[in-house]
């Protein structure tokens, strides 16, 4: 039984290997410049285990926001807002989309006939007098 044969078609990797095996790239390397413009606070990836229903709620929240909001963007905003509320995130900047979403949720769950400016009510929502 013969050994399996590799497809004789050259791959892009094969072409690149052959090019650099037969080409003097020292001039191009000498002209190269080091890229020094780097991000000072890069985003990093982390793994987060969530119950399925929680992740689904995050996905629905992102979808409801529209404008291309992603579930990871929503989670990042919530984490940053939570850290800011705890006072342990001095550089906190809460994105406008997070503020709008929080206000929309607050309005959705508020009592009918309330407004945030009525002085007769304690807290953020105050009963409207008509």
Domain count, the chain: 1
The answer to whether position 100 is within a domain reads yes
User: What pLDDT tens digit does each residue of the chain (130 aa) get?
Assistant: 455 455 567 899 999 999 999 999 999 999 998 888 888 888 899 999 999 999 999 999 999 887 888 999 999 888 888 887 787 776 667 677 777 777 877 777 776 666 655 555 444 444 444 4
Task: Please list the helix, strand and coil fractions of the chain in percent, rounded to the nearest 5, in that order.
Answer: 45, 5, 50
The answer to whether position 62 is within a domain reads yes
The answer to whether position 65 is within a domain reads yes
**What is the C-alpha to C-alpha distance for residues 127 and 110, in angstroms, rounded to an integer?**
10
The answer to whether position 77 is within a domain reads yes
Q: Residue 81 corresponds to which tokens in the numbers above?
A: 């807002």
**What is the C-alpha to C-alpha distance for residues 130 and 125, in angstroms, rounded to an integer?**
15
pLDDT of res. 83: 82
The answer to whether position 39 is within a domain reads no
Phi then psi for residue 128, to 5 deg, are: -75, 135
The answer to whether position 58 is within a domain reads yes
Question: Which residue range is the domain that position 86 belongs to?
Answer: 52-127
The answer to whether position 94 is within a domain reads yes
The answer to whether position 27 is within a domain reads no
pLDDT of res. 121: 46
Q: Which of 74, 81, 36 is nearest to 55 (CA)?
A: 74
């Amino acid at each position: 039984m013969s050994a399996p044969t590799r497809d004789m078609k050259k791959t892009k990797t094969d072409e690149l290997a052959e090019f650099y095996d037969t080409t003097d790239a020292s001039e191009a390397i000498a002209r190269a410049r080091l890229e020094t413009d780097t991000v000072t606070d890069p985003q990093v990836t982390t793994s987060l285990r969530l119950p399925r229903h929680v992740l689904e709620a995050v996905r629905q929240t992102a979808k409801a926001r529209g404008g291309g909001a992603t579930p990871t963007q929503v989670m990042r905003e919530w984490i940053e807002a939570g850290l800011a509320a705890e006072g342990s995130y001095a550089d906190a900047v809460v994105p406008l989309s997070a503020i709008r979403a929080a206000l929309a949720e607050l309005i959705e769950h508020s009592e009918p006939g309330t407004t945030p400016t009525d002085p007769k009510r304690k807290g953020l929502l105050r009963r409207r007098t008509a």
